[in-house]
Amino acid sequence: MNGANRVAVAGARRTTELRLDGSGRGGRWKGEVFRALLIFCLVIAFVTLLAVIVQASVRGMPRIDLNLITQMPSTLDRETSGMQSAIFGTIYVMVGLIVTVVPIGVSAAIFLEEFADGTKWWVRFIELNVQNLAAVPSIVFGILGLAFIVRGPLDLGTVAYAGSLTLALLVLPTVILASREAIRAVPTSLRQASLGLGATKWQTIWHHVLPSAVPGIVTGTILALSRAIGETAPLLLVGATVFVTYNPDGFFEGAYTVLPVQIFQWAVRPQEEFRILAAAGIILLLAVLLVMNSIAIWIRNKYTRDA
């Protein structure tokens, strides 16, 4: 993994160097073609995003109203049906996710960066598996959550925190990898200064390494959470699938649903009103996502400038 990454990075750098060398036959011509190809790819990504936003906005606009957030979902009052239970369910799941994944992810990152001896086989094994975990399809985490969290050893039942834990497994690798990057970016000279004064390793991490790494950790965590907030597949398996018309009673009791699942519930119904409602839900979800990502970018830029 690390080795493979390094090879990939080295390969990419070498490619760039060769590219910049420009001595090859027709170097400039090839460069222009390559540039056009890259811009084309960018356009595809951008047009797709724009199409989704425009399509959802046009269809859902009639239902962007207060009812959308103040009313419970209802199959009877099609005109005024809302998604309050899904909004509350999402809030419960996300809060449970944050308090679970941040301490575990950051602690794991601190251990791997500051304490673990990278030459030991078991440390490499853990690092390799953290990266592998990031590539596991989300539905697999759903099955795992059903077997071990909803039923099995933890036996939580289909409650909001079961959803939080399942999503925590899903985004844990992202949080660990982002936190490691942030911790690694803290200059060694800062650690040496602190240790040289007779501070303990823990004091050094707590007073200097973590405060300097917090912006990076927060940015990475928000991006991980914005992936989790849009996840549907794993939550379908751990209880969010039911049509609930009331808010969760708490983290550990009561049925729950979340925004993407509610959108799915509506989108499969034949009546036009529900399809419009689904489009409105998509706008809401996209708005939340864009706000979260903007905050992440804002934090990153703010601290990059200050540093």
Residue/partner pairs of 154-159 with CB below 8 Å, 24 or more apart: 156/252, 157/239, 158/238, 158/239, 158/240, 158/242, 158/255, 158/256, 159/239, 159/248, 159/250, 159/251, 159/252, 159/253, 159/254, 159/255, 159/256
Q: Which two tokens stand for residue 185?
A: 């970016």
Shortest separation between residue 107's beta carbon and another protein, angstroms: 21
State yes or no: residue 189 binds another protein (CB under 8 A): yes
State yes or no: residue 208 binds another protein (CB under 8 A): yes
Among 11, 62, 187, 250, binds another protein (CB under 8 A): 187
One-letter amino acid of 23? S
State yes or no: residue 121 binds another protein (CB under 8 A): no
By CB under 8 A, the residues from 91 to 120 that bind another protein are 117-119
Q: Which two tokens stand for residue 227?
A: 């992936």
State yes or no: residue 122 binds another protein (CB under 8 A): no
Residue number with CB closer to another protein (111 or 243): 111
For tokens 């399942």, the residue is 166
State yes or no: residue 207 binds another protein (CB under 8 A): yes
State yes or no: residue 185 binds another protein (CB under 8 A): no
- Scanning 154-162, 185-193, 243-251, 295-303 for contacts with another protein by CB under 8 A, the matching segment is 185-193
Residue number with CB closer to another protein (116 or 139): 116
- Scanning 47-55, 68-76, 152-160, 189-197 for contacts with another protein by CB under 8 A, the matching segment is 189-197
Enter the DSSP assignment of 278: H
Residue number with CB closer to another protein (115 or 252): 115
CB 156 within 8 A of CB 252: yes
CA 199 from chain center: how many Å?
36
In this structure, the number of other CB atoms found within 10 A of the CB of residue 7 comes to 10
Q: How far apart are CA 68 and CA 64, in angstroms?
A: 7
Q: How far apart are CA 263 and CA 261, in angstroms?
A: 5
- Scanning 80-88, 166-174, 193-201, 226-234 for contacts with another protein by CB under 8 A, the matching segment is 193-201
Among 139, 190, 286, 299, binds another protein (CB under 8 A): 190
Among 2, 75, 132, 192, binds another protein (CB under 8 A): 192
Smallest CA-to-CA distance from 161 within 79, 243, 257, 97 is with 97
Q: Which two tokens stand for residue 32?
A: 């222009």
- Scanning 37-45, 51-59, 140-148, 196-204 for contacts with another protein by CB under 8 A, the matching segment is 196-204
Shortest separation between residue 159's beta carbon and another protein, angstroms: 43
Interface map 143-182 toward another protein (x if CB under 8 A): ----------------------------------------
One-letter amino acid of 145? G
Tell me what percent of the chain is helix, strand and coil, each rounded to the nearest 5.
75, 0, 25
Residue number with CB closer to another protein (59 or 180): 180
State yes or no: residue 203 binds another protein (CB under 8 A): yes
In the complex, the residues that contact another protein under the rule CB under 8 A are 117-119, 187, 189-200, 203, 207-208, 211-212
